[in-house]
Amino acid sequence: MLLLDNPVLQRELLINLRTLRSFALLLGYNALLGVVVILAWPQESRLNLSNNPESAKNLVNLFFLGQYLLVALMSPSFAAGAITGEKERHTYESLLASPLRPQAIVLGKLFASLAHLAVLLFSSLPIVMLCLPLGGVSLYEVLTVYLGLILSVTLFGMISIACSSFFQRTSSALVVSYLLILPLALFGVGVWNLFGNNGEARLIFTLTIFPLISLGLTAMLFAMTSQRLLHPPDVGSEGKEVIDEERELREAVGMVISRDRFPDSLIAPPKRSQLLPDHANPVYDKELRSEIFAQGTLMLRLVIQISLLLAFPLMAGVLFFVPELSAWYAAYVVLFNMLVGPVFNAGAITSERERETLELLLTTNLSSLQILGGKLFAGFRIAGALTALLFWPFLLAVIFRPYFWQNWQLVLAYPAIIILTCLTTASVALLASVICRKTATSLIVSYLAIVVLFCLPPALQFFAQSFYANTPLVDAVETLSIVSPFSTLFKLPYLATDLKYSLSGSYASFWLYVSFTSALIAGCWIALVMLFEFRWRSGE
């Protein structure tokens, strides 16, 4: 019953793989890979295959790394809601009361969640086979890489399933999954590039060390999740029960959040003990003081601890020892907000609809601006405070490092870009919440839009510079990069450590980014009010 006769696996496969979304995803995934291969195909009229052409090798490496990053981004979206979805659908207790063993439930959820990704990976084999005659990689390396992809997908899926067992909401499980998976994915990319010129060493690592690490972590997480389902501490919650914060603080291991202390009060303000003042926004007060923290502060504590743990080595190495690379730390802060920011706004309207309280909210005399503004700034305040926890080391570096005194423009540009990023992620997530009907769908749409907006321009820049160097396409892609905060950060000019020369760059790209992002946020607000009036106020 663990696998062959697993009813959980059979049900999930029948429901998920027959949907129109699965076929559309398969078509889009292979179309994307096919377009990348066509565009990156070597431009030389003749290739000397005996010399292992560099262009062919770059194409194959790009194909493999692209797939690796894509599955790393997609794994949590398929697996993070495996158990939280049962809680949100009120079927969690029925599942636990069934005669299925916890191991069968976890294994069924894992295989069902990863079935989509397995189909996507194997469907891309014909495309990579077209690249083999170009040279640069052997058939054995292709098979080894696909083994590494399968092991990576299994590990990423198991991480998401484990997170799903700890939380009551899919949004919380999703953001913690991303915070754990993305560093592992970037580490894998770094190891791949480290062995870039030594195919034999990369082959040995992928066949020996990597399987041991991946399978070991997967087995440990599988046992932990199965044990949690065997003795579930959250039976009866169904994703709805309000957690007693005083009890949570007493029983919490590690960091705790105290509402009556600074800076914790910026994230979780004290509960109101008096009546709401006149002319105050009740939506903002409700969201900030009760709604966001109705499920406790476990997600916030994990987000803070994981992000700071990852930030410490980067902070010490970049800000204090190699300050010319300070843009990398700012990029890390932007990436953090890109992952965390949408969580607090993607369910702003959809959660009201799921709780069947939206009609009650619309019968009040609050305007659309008051409702949307209250929800937006409540989420923005928490996401901004969490982001500020990572940015304060930069302020310390400004005080103690004279290098930044000479680069005072950077000291102003970095926080401006980060603040605009926070507003962008909050606005896009709220817009998705108005458009979509389910919180999980809204969150996935938010992440997709933000990834396209923030990460696609740098990826296009890398692609154009690698395969279309010295062509007009590079300049065209460079112009489009103003929409991404990552591209803008690395275009800012600064002095070298010895303060004798200035590296290339200009602040023109910064002002273009500020102008574009301001217009984007304004456009989101106009669309928010219009869609909210049309979709919800109209009585749909």
Amino acid at 117: L
The CA distance from 494 to 489, in Å, is 11
Any long-range contacts for 131-135 (C-beta under 8 Å, 24+ apart)? 131/37, 131/56, 131/59, 131/60, 131/63, 133/49, 134/42, 134/47, 134/49, 134/53, 134/56, 134/59, 134/60, 135/47, 135/49, 135/52, 135/53, 135/56, 135/57
Taking only the tens place, the pLDDT of each residue in 354-371 is: 878 877 887 888 888 888
pLDDT band at 500 (very low <50, low <70, confident <90, very high): very low
Burial class (CB in 10 A: 0-12, 13-18, 19+), 206: buried
Looking at the predicted structure, is the pLDDT value of residue 201 above 90? no
- Which residues make Cβ contacts (< 8 Å) with residue 501, sequence separation at least 6? 495
CB atoms within 10 A of CB 1: 15
- Measured in whole angstroms, how far is the alpha carbon of residue 538 from the centre of its chain? 34
The CA distance from 52 to 134, in Å, is 8
pLDDT of amino acid 410: 80
pLDDT of amino acid 291: 61
pLDDT of amino acid 4: 64
Burial class (CB in 10 A: 0-12, 13-18, 19+), 488: buried
Q: Please give the backbone phi and psi of residue 495, each rounded to the nearest 5 degrees, phi first.
A: -85, 150
pLDDT of amino acid 72: 87
Report cis status (omega within 30 of 0) of the bond before 270.
no
Q: Is pTM beyond 0.95 here?
A: no
| Residues comprising the chain, all counted | 540
Looking at the predicted structure, is the pLDDT value of residue 167 above 80? yes
Looking at the predicted structure, is the pLDDT value of residue 313 above 50? yes
Looking at the predicted structure, is the pLDDT value of residue 501 above 60? no
Looking at the predicted structure, is the pLDDT value of residue 444 above 90? no
Instruction: Provide the terminal-to-terminal Cα distance of the chain, rounded to the nearest Å.
Output: 45
Angle 407-408-409 from CA coordinates, rounded to 5°: 90
**Three-state DSSP class for 490?**
coil
- Measured in whole angstroms, how far is the alpha carbon of residue 101 from the centre of its chain? 32
Name residue, tokens 């740098």.
Answer: 458
pLDDT of amino acid 382: 86
pLDDT of amino acid 523: 92
CB atoms within 10 A of CB 276: 11
pLDDT band at 244 (very low <50, low <70, confident <90, very high): low
The CA distance from 480 to 353, in Å, is 37
The CA distance from 532 to 369, in Å, is 10
Taking only the tens place, the pLDDT of each residue in 382-431 is: 888 889 888 888 888 888 877 777 777 888 888 999 999 999 999 999 99
CB atoms within 10 A of CB 316: 12
pLDDT of amino acid 517: 93
Looking at the predicted structure, is the pLDDT value of residue 256 above 80? no
Q: Please give the backbone phi and psi of residue 502, each rounded to the nearest 5 degrees, phi first.
A: -105, 135
Q: Among the listed ranges 22-26, 143-147, 157-161, 324-328, which one has the minimum average pLDDT value?
A: 22-26
pLDDT of amino acid 515: 93
Looking at the predicted structure, is the pLDDT value of residue 332 above 80? yes
Task: Single out the residue of 81, 152, 71, 157 nearest to residue 114, CA to CA.
Answer: 157
Q: Do residues 163 and 77 make contact, with C-beta atoms less than 8 angstroms apart?
A: no
Name residue, tokens 């290098």.
Answer: 403
Looking at the predicted structure, is the pLDDT value of residue 8 above 90? no
The CA distance from 393 to 398, in Å, is 9
Report the run of H or E that residue 81 belongs to, with start and end: none
Q: Do residues 109 and 84 make contact, with C-beta atoms less than 8 angstroms apart?
A: no
Q: Calculate the average pLDDT of the chain.
A: 79
Q: Which two tokens stand for residue 474?
A: 């590079």
Amino acid at 85: G
